[in-house]
């Protein structure tokens, strides 16, 4: 299902009983985040929240703030227009496995696949709702904003941008979709990198060392030419999800968004640079990074690691224009001690791309990134093991695969283990390993947010082979079977169990 604005998505959430409206005035500084955090800790991610009267320094913003809109498995499925994320994954999987047809039935099936691809390519349009209000920074007059309600011609200071945590260096845009372009190939990238507000038309942009926009940026720094950047918020939530998806460098995330929403993304040119953004976005912030300027201090920021990331040097982004819908909703998230909204976004990503993992590693049954591992710190993988040292192959393979390079600990278990049950994985890990034999230590790139690595951006890694061992893996002893009740007895006990329980309740 395609959403033509964030408001449409929010209304759909409300119809599904997934949204709570908050009509009281709530401060964008610390208060929205405190309420959101409490909601995010509710079972299964709680509800999405719409703050209808967010305040900035005591004045009510005309733009409501939507938080936690993607913060549950059900809401993530809604972002993908499906009843479950697995459905979207199965659809992507069938696309990946498409083969030349050998008969009429297969040709028909392939035609179905081709129909799905119809929407993938973005479509250029002349204008769109994201241009209902256009504010060019060089044309700003005086007298903006008066009384208790802000007017709708915002600079960054007028937008309901959150300060989430007490020690944050200021206000941060937390769900920004950042569009950049490779100056050599003109390939477009969409990534999500937080934006720190430093003035009415100045921000920091936190694209980390190993991310695609940082690679684009390095090319502009090498040539000394201005780097155009466009940041947008809202529109179809599939855009924000696609911006976070770990697609290979060179693959345009708008293709994924088009695939998910089953409708081509309508793209419109920016007012003050040549980049294109979705015409149905809620806000667009246009501007540039000037490689001739020194990097600036960015942070500190209460991060998804559960700790503050310290001040570091990042490029300055100069805003040249802000355009928006008249009835725009400002989407935001709050990151911090897990689980938060980003856990559900990350889990959806892993599920969606499972068919791709399985194409490279057919023995993989399932992968889980438990919330405690804040994305990459901890990865559980189950495999159908058929030969010695297959678990080690999987560890090294994953460390070499895109953003899985950030994984600090990878635990490999046998096919029958439910990797989403952390207790079961720990049981197998503790019982199935001989540390000297089954632990692999190595080095590699690390998440720059990881405060435990001695240096930023690289560190050590540990792999645990918790599968049952074969003689060729240095285990000459027989491997014992795990204890399980006989299946026929279990069926009998199942029936008896209800009867016994009923009797117990009656006795109580
Ligand atoms: C809520 C949220 C905030 C994020 N903030 C950042 C950030 O500030 N910097 C960064 O490099 N990655 C951040 N990420 C992760 C990237 O969006 C993610 O790695 C994405 O795949 C990067 O895209 P790229 O591979 O096209 O560079 C964030 C992810 C989420 C879900």
Q: pLDDT 10s per residue in the chain (508 long)? A: 899 999 999 999 999 999 999 999 999 999 999 999 999 999 999 999 999 999 999 999 999 999 999 999 999 999 999 999 999 999 888 877 766 677 777 777 777 767 777 788 999 999 999 999 999 998 875 444 333 444 446 789 999 999 999 999 999 999 999 999 999 999 999 999 999 999 999 999 999 999 999 999 999 999 999 999 999 999 999 999 999 999 999 999 999 999 999 999 999 999 999 999 999 999 999 999 999 999 999 999 999 999 999 999 999 999 999 999 999 999 999 999 999 999 999 999 999 999 999 999 999 999 999 999 998 899 999 999 999 999 999 999 999 999 999 999 999 999 999 999 999 999 999 999 999 999 999 999 999 999 999 999 999 999 999 999 999 999 999 999 999 999 999 999 988 988 888 777 777 7
Q: In angstroms, what is the span from residue 466 Cα to ligand 1's centroid?
A: 31
Domain ranges of the chain: 6-332, 361-473
Which DSSP letter does residue 165 get? Answer: S
Ligand 1: which atom is nearest the Cα of residue 189? Answer: 26
CATH classification of 6-332, choosing from 1.20.210.10, 2.30.110.10, 3.30.390.30, 3.40.640.10? 2.30.110.10
Ligand 1: which atom is nearest the Cα of residue 213? Answer: 27
Q: Is the dihedral of CA 44, 46, 47, 51 positive or negative?
A: negative
Rounded CA-CA distance 154/144 in Å is 8
Q: Please indicate whether residue 193, judged by its CB atom, sits closer than 6 Å to ligand 1.
A: yes
Q: In angstroms, what is the span from residue 192 Cα to ligand 1's centroid?
A: 4
Q: Evaluate whether 282 touches 325 at the Cβ level (below 8 Å).
A: yes
Q: What are phi and psi of 202, to 5 degrees?
A: -140, 135
pLDDT score recorded for residue 153: 63
pLDDT score recorded for residue 473: 96
**Residues that are catalytic:** 303
pLDDT score recorded for residue 498: 83
Going by C-alpha positions, the residue among 193, 159, 155 that lies closest to residue 322 is: 155
Q: In angstroms, what is the span from residue 193 Cα to ligand 1's centroid?
A: 5
Q: Please indicate whether residue 131, judged by its CB atom, sits closer than 6 Å to ligand 1.
A: no
Ligand 1: which atom is nearest the Cα of residue 207? Answer: 11
Residue nearest to atom 29 of ligand 1 (CA): 244
Residue nearest to atom 18 of ligand 1 (CA): 244
Q: Please indicate whether residue 331, judged by its CB atom, sits closer than 6 Å to ligand 1.
A: no
Q: Please indicate whether residue 191, judged by its CB atom, sits closer than 6 Å to ligand 1.
A: yes
Q: In angstroms, what is the span from residue 404 Cα to ligand 1's centroid?
A: 13
Count of beta carbons in the 10 Å neighbourhood of residue 449: 20
Ligand 1: which atom is nearest the Cα of residue 346? Answer: 31
Superfamily of domain 361-473: UbiD C-terminal domain-like (3.40.1670.10)
Ligand 1: which atom is nearest the Cα of residue 192? Answer: 17
Q: Please indicate whether residue 314, judged by its CB atom, sits closer than 6 Å to ligand 1.
A: no
Residues 6 or more apart whose CB falls under 8 angstroms from that of 184 comprise 219
Residue nearest to atom 7 of ligand 1 (CA): 193
Q: In angstroms, what is the span from residue 75 Cα to ligand 1's centroid?
A: 20
Q: In angstroms, what is the span from residue 294 Cα to ligand 1's centroid?
A: 23
Q: Please indicate whether residue 207, judged by its CB atom, sits closer than 6 Å to ligand 1.
A: yes
Count of beta carbons in the 10 Å neighbourhood of residue 332: 28
Q: In angstroms, what is the span from residue 191 Cα to ligand 1's centroid?
A: 6
Q: Please indicate whether residue 192, judged by its CB atom, sits closer than 6 Å to ligand 1.
A: yes
Q: Please indicate whether residue 246, judged by its CB atom, sits closer than 6 Å to ligand 1.
A: yes
Rounded CA-CA distance 40/290 in Å is 38
Q: What are phi and psi of 126, to 5 degrees?
A: -75, -40
Residue spans of beta strands (DSSP E) within 122-271: 123-124, 133-136, 172-173, 177-181, 188-191, 195-199, 202-205, 227-233, 266-269
Q: Please indicate whether residue 194, judged by its CB atom, sits closer than 6 Å to ligand 1.
A: yes
Ligand 1: which atom is nearest the Cα of residue 335? Answer: 1
Q: Please indicate whether residue 210, judged by its CB atom, sits closer than 6 Å to ligand 1.
A: no
pLDDT score recorded for residue 141: 57
Q: Please indicate whether residue 7, judged by its CB atom, sits closer than 6 Å to ligand 1.
A: no
Look at strands 65-67 and 330-332 and give their pairing. Answer: parallel
Please choose from 71, 212, 244, 336 the residue to mutate so as to test ligand 1's pocket, defined by most ligand atoms within 8 A of CB: 244
Rounded CA-CA distance 52/384 in Å is 50
């Amino acid at each position: 299902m395609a959403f033509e604005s964030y408001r449409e998505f929010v209304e759909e959430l409300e119809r599904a009983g997934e949204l709570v409206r908050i009509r009281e005035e709530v401060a964008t500084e610390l208060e929205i985040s405190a309420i959101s955090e409490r909601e995010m800790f509710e079972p299964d991610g709680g509800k999405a929240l719409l703050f209808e009267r967010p305040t900035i320094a005591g004045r009510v913003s005309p733009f409501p703030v939507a938080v936690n809109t993607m913060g549950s498995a059900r809401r993530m499925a809604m972002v993908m227009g499906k009843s479950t994320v697995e459905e979207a994954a199965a659809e992507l999987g069938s696309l990946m496995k498409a083969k030349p047809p050998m008969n009429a039935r297969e040709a028909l099936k392939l035609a179905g696949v081709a129909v799905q691809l119809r929407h993938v390519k973005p479509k250029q349009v002349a204008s769109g709702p994201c241009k209902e209000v256009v504010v060019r920074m060089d044309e700003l007059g005086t007298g903006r904003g008066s009384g208790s309600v802000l007017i709708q011609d915002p600079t960054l200071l007028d937008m309901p941008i959150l300060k989430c945590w007490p020690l944050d260096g200021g206000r941060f845009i937390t769900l920004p979709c950042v569009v950049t372009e490779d100056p050599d190939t003109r390939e477009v990238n969409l990534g999500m990198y937080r934006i720190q507000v430093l003035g009415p038309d100045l921000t920091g942009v936190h694209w980390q060392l190993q991310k695609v926009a940082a690679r684009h940026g390095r090319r502009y720094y090498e040539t000394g030419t201005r780097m155009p950047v466009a940041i947008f918020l809202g529109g179809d939530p599939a855009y924000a999800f696609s911006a976070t998806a770990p697609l290979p460098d060179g693959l345009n995330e708008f293709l994924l968004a088009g695939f998910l929403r089953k409708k081509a993304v309508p793209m419109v040119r920016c007012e003050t640079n040549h980049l294109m953004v979705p015409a149905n976005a809620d806000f667009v912030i246009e501007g540039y990074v000037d490689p001739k300027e020194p990097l600036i201090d960015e942070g500190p920021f209460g991060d998804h690691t559960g700790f503050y990331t310290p001040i570091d040097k990042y490029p300055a982004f100069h805003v040249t224009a802000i355009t928006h819908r008249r009835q725009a909703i400002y989407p935001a998230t709050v990151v911090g001690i897990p689980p938060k909204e980003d856990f559900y976004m990350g889990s959806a990503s892993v599920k969606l791309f499972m068919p791709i993992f399985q194409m490279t590693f057919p023995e993989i049954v399932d992968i889980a990134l438990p919330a405690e591992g804040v994305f990459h710190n901890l990865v559980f993988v189950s495999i159908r093991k058929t030969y010695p040292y297959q678990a080690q192959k999987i560890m090294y393979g994953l460390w070499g695969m895109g953003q899985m390079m950030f994984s600090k600990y990878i635990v490999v278990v046998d096919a029958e283990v439910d990797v989403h049950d952390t207790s079961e994985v720990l049981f197998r890990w503790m019982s199935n390993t001989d540390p000297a034999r089954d632990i692999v230590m190595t080095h590699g790139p690390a998440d720059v947010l990881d405060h435990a690595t001695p240096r930023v951006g690289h560190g050590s890694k540990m792999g645990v082979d918790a599968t049952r061992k074969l003689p060729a893996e240095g285990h000459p002893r027989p491997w014992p079977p795990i204890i399980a009740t006989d299946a026929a007895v279990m069926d009998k006990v199942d029936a008896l169990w209800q009867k016994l329980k009923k009797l117990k309740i009656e006795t109580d």
